[in-house]
Structure 1
Amino acid sequence: MSISAKTRTDEVHARLRADILGGRFAPGERLKFTPLCQDYDASVGLIREVLSRLAEQGLVLANPQVGFQVKPISVDDLLDLTRTRTDIECLALRRGIERGDTAWRAQLVATHFTLSDTPRRDVSDPTRVAPAWEAAHANFHDALLAGCGSPRLHAIATALRDSACLYRRWQEAIDPYDAARDPAQEHATIFQHAIDGDADSAVAALAAHIELTTTLIVASRTPS
């Protein structure tokens, strides 16, 4: 694939991923090639490649009978995802802290500073999370995982985080003003324990952070 073709594929991937996470396509909705090609001004081959990548990231399902569809969501899947994600992300974080790599610590400081300095709410619509905060949030969580020293473990953890994005967006719709939680404090607690080298406390804080989203979703709404 040429550089220009890769750039175009990455662009369409980013747009479609954002539209799925932004709620343009509902969970379980079929993703048909003809309208997607028109909407994203892309060929069938490019759309197929993008959908396959999104399927690998857990946002789309490839079904022989149905074709591609946005991943359906359910309590059972959420609980399974939460348990698995907690196990994997906590393992990656613990390994990063135990390795104590200076480059990892510097990246963690930088990404947390950006996250804490970025307004969470969109100025034009305070009920929505600002795209800049969303990017800063993703970078911070990725930095937490990146110090584990294992590309395979990091990739698995990242894929699970991508799958969890649909559910986190759902939780934000349930509680748009974060009345039931303090994300900034949750992130600050994880960060401080990690920088202090306190693996047990950092892992416990990360697990609580992940599990709180699930608790709020299950308590607030029963998925269909």
Structure 2
Amino acid sequence: MPTRTVKQTRAEVVYNAIRSEVLSARVPPGTKMKLADYSERFDVSLSVVREAMSRLAEQGLLQANPQRGFATLPLSATDLRELTRARVLIETATLRESIANGDLMWEAQVVAAHHRLAATPMFLEDAVPNLDFVDVHGAFHVALLAGSGNGHLESIATSLRVRAELYLAWSRFLGDDPNRDTAGEHRELAELTVARRADEATDALARHIQRTADSLADYARTVGNGE
């Protein structure tokens, strides 16, 4: 039993370290991941590294290639543009449903989710991404849409947002938008949503999603994936 606990702890350390490197673009898009390098660095077996990378591949943060191991996802301007368009269409429609159908409990959940988000720093020391922020940020966006009463819409919206999580993270490190007030955008979204101002809230959400894509689009074109 003690041996199993140590193994789980090491696997979690390796998983979090690789996740942090991928989200901060310290491993550039389209890079082949060398299991042996991570095995040596963390003094763990190849199976522990493979387990960590498999988890990340399941979350859409790495690409699993049969017989070729793992790689970071390529950065495609076309995919970014299409994914952003899909998110805007689905998430704004679902938010409008939430505002129309959500009850007082839903409002409280939105306020609480925003409070947690506002209290969670985006970065740790030395510009290391705060993995807690990634999770809390996702929970805030889920909360915004959770009053819709339509599980299908919410499920599609969440799957698209999860698919965009890597682009969102890359936009903070590879994008060009130094004057962006992300915290202000989240605050505006929460306030407009709870105030039931559907047109303004959905417009704010569309701009919030689009701005992330815009900040990354130029970089995507410069690395040769702007087809």
TM-score when scaled to structure 2?
Answer: 0.75
Contact 1:28-1:70 within 8 A present in 2 as well: yes
Structure 1 equivalent of residue 117 of structure 2: 115
Q: Alignment partner of 1:197: what SS?
A: coil
**Residue 25 of structure 1: which of 13, 24, 27 is its match?**
27
Structure 1 equivalent of residue 161 of structure 2: 161
Q: Evaluate the alpha carbon distance shift between residue 105 and residue 14 of structure 1 in structure 2; reply closer, same or farther with a 3 A threshold.
A: farther
Q: Alignment partner of 2:53: what SS?
A: helix
Q: Evaluate the alpha carbon distance shift between residue 113 and residue 89 of structure 1 in structure 2; reply closer, same or farther with a 3 A threshold.
A: same
Contact 1:59-1:162 within 8 A present in 2 as well: no
Q: Percent identity, please.
A: 39
- In the alignment, structure 1 segments of 5+ residues that lack a partner are none
Distance 1:10 1:103 in 2: 35
Amino acid in structure 2 at the alignment position of 1:63? N
Distance 2:128 2:19 in 1: 16
Alignment of 1:126-145 (within 5 A): 128=127, 131=130, 133-145=133-145
1:208 and 2:210 equivalent?
A: no
Q: Give me the CA root mean square deviation.
A: 3.3
Question: How big is the shift at 1:37?
Answer: 3.5
Q: Evaluate the alpha carbon distance shift between residue 160 and residue 37 of structure 1 in structure 2; reply closer, same or farther with a 3 A threshold.
A: farther
Structure 2 equivalent of residue 171 of structure 1: 171
Distance 1:174 1:219 in 2: 10
Contact 1:186-1:209 within 8 A present in 2 as well: yes
Q: Evaluate the alpha carbon distance shift between residue 98 and residue 118 of structure 1 in structure 2; reply closer, same or farther with a 3 A threshold.
A: same
Q: Evaluate the alpha carbon distance shift between residue 78 and residue 16 of structure 1 in structure 2; reply closer, same or farther with a 3 A threshold.
A: same
Alignment of 1:5-154 (within 5 A): 12-40=14-42, 42-64=44-66, 66-118=68-120, 120=122, 122=124, 124-125=125-126, 128=127, 131=130, 133-149=133-149, 153-154=153-154
Deviations 1:137-182 (A, max 9, x none): 3332232244444566545433433332332333323567732x32
Structure 1 equivalent of residue 198 of structure 2: 199
Structure 2 equivalent of residue 182 of structure 1: 181
Q: Alignment partner of 2:204: what SS?
A: helix
Question: How big is the shift at 1:58?
Answer: 2.0
Distance 1:42 1:102 in 2: 49
Q: Alignment partner of 1:26: what SS?
A: coil
Moved runs in structure 1, 4+ residues, more than 6 A? 5-8
Amino acid in structure 2 at the alignment position of 1:55? A
Q: Relative to structure 2, which stretch is displaced further, 188-197 or 94-103?
A: 94-103
Q: Evaluate the alpha carbon distance shift between residue 38 and residue 146 of structure 1 in structure 2; reply closer, same or farther with a 3 A threshold.
A: farther
Count matched residues: 218
